[in-house]
Amino acid sequence: MDSEALRKYSALHPKPAGLTLQYGTAGFRSKAEQLDHIVFRMGLLAVLRSKAVAATIGIMVTASHNPEEDNGVKLVDPLGEMLHPSWEEYATQLANAEEQELQKVITEICQKAAVNLHKDASVFIGRDTRPSSEKLSQSVIDGIQVLGGQYHDYGLVTTPQLHYMVCCQNTQGQYGKATLEGYYEKLSKAFMELIKQSTKSHCSGESQRHLKIDCANGIGALKLSEMKPYFPQEVLIHIYNDGTKEKLNHLCGADFVKVHQKPPRGLDMKPNEKCCSFDGDADRIVYYYEDTAGHFHLIDGDKIATLISIFLKELLAKVKQDFKMAVVQTAYANGNSTRYLEETLKVPVHCVKTGVKHLHHKAQEFDVGVYFEANGHGTVLFSKAAETKIRQLVKEEKDDEKREAAKMLENMIDLINQTVGDAVSDMLVIEAILALKGLTVQQWDALYADLPNRLLKVQVADRRVIDTTDAERRALTPPGLQDKIDALVKKYKLSRAFVRPSGTEDVVRIYAEADTQENADALAHEVSLAVFHLAGGKGAPPK
């Protein structure tokens, strides 16, 4: 390691005094002007990680659905998955080290993680459209070069596209070609093959093929426009909030629509028109429409998972293989979605702690694992064994119906981005399924009615006083809190409630659902009062 170069470059990316940041599920996120030293050091870390695993590592500069003035950075592991938890700790140590300790911390990481500094390193870089992203990705490059790593800068890409590139590179092209063209070709080909099969089943009306897309004034608009030439004429997508006029994520995007339960600014909705929103880095998607009475209907991650599960379950039944399928949710999933999946569809549902990495990990246990967070981030994972078997059936199966079903499954495998939730890929999966099943957005919405629910948060002195169990559905501490919640829940029909500490700030998040909105609101309020009194609330009690 060239300590002189490290000292020189580190001085160009100084750490502001007294700033400490934590590497979490979303990597580092903060105001853009606080991140220069962080991204430089993540360039260093990406090189170390690459040397440790002898593979290409990804580094993405984005703050997803945060406001435009924020930014962030996260690392992508070799198969397109999130950074290994033990390395999240190294990331935090390296980010917060004082300048003069930097070399020492690098040496410690090398010892702990058995990194051989003489090995080659390769890093793929991507960034979103924020004004601060280009300069920050230059700082990443400084970090990579100081430790002698090779890099390829993809420039402007969606987060899922970078995950895809990293996976293609490290599977020697088995997952696909590590270029944007490769991504567009693979997805559009699988989509067209699927849609081709839909003309055999139903001819869905012209109006059903129109889709209005709110791209959150972010990278999604840019990449979707690039992808348009790859689609046949039948695909009628209309891009709104393309970033030419307004600010990223401002009053638009998947997060805004989900939280405020209303349409984004900049998209004119007519009754019963099918619409969807991406988030700022295009790894989440939600659908919605307004009915003729002017009521807004949100179709969130739970309903997306349900639609995909119905489709996959039918195909799996046709290929007659003993594949294990399951849906993975968090405690935030609407109770009626869980009921519908378990009781009507008869698909096993597993609940895990909040956070994509927990969902992804659990979904890997099945031949077909569907996971979505209610916020619209999700995908489907196929086991190696299931994928191999399906591809074999396409080639060898004599029975027409079985072979056709296997062909559809094969196209689904190619259309879904298995590395991470991907708004573009998920949108194409949904559009293909709606066309194949001849469903309108209203019929999809009508599969089940969401139970009314309410999310609240309570400020507390220290969020660590709350400890949870059973995938965050029950509180272990403080004493008496869970008993109180149980008693409150008993007062209302079809109700449940849970509390969990935030991962990032001293607040406790409260979720409640019940048979009516009034009851869900009342239950959430009563639980928030219990939290305030038993878990050290700050300020005035919740009103």
Give the three-class secondary structure for 79. coil
Q: Which residues are annotated as a binding site for Mg(2+)?
A: 64, 279, 281, 283
Binding-site residue numbers for substrate are: 373-375, 500-504, 509
Cβ contact 509:435 at 8 Å: no
Q: Where are the alpha helices (DSSP H) in 202-343?
A: 206-209, 219-227, 254-260, 301-319, 335-339
Q: Which of 510, 505, 500, 502 is nearest to 472 (CA)?
A: 500
Give CA–CA dist 245/486, Å, rounded: 50
Q: Specify whether 207 is catalytic.
A: no
Show binding-site residues.
Answer: 64, 279, 281, 283, 373-375, 500-504, 509
Q: How far apart are the first and last CA of the chain?
A: 58
What is the CB-side half-sphere exposure of residue 149 using CA atoms within 13 A? 34
- The residues that bridge with 370 in the sheet, in sequence order, are 327, 380
23: left (phi over 0), alpha (psi -120 to 50) or beta: beta
Distance CA 187, CA 184 (A): 5
Options 10, 50, 64, 139, the catalytic residue: 64
Are the CB atoms for 194 and 412 separated by under 8 Å? yes
Rg of the chain over Cα atoms, rounded to whole angstroms, equals: 24
How far is residue 437's CA from residue 79's CA, in Å, rounded to a whole number?
Answer: 33
Buried b / exposed e along 310-327 (16+ C-beta atoms within 10 A)? bbbbebbebbebebebbb
Give catalytic residue positions: 64
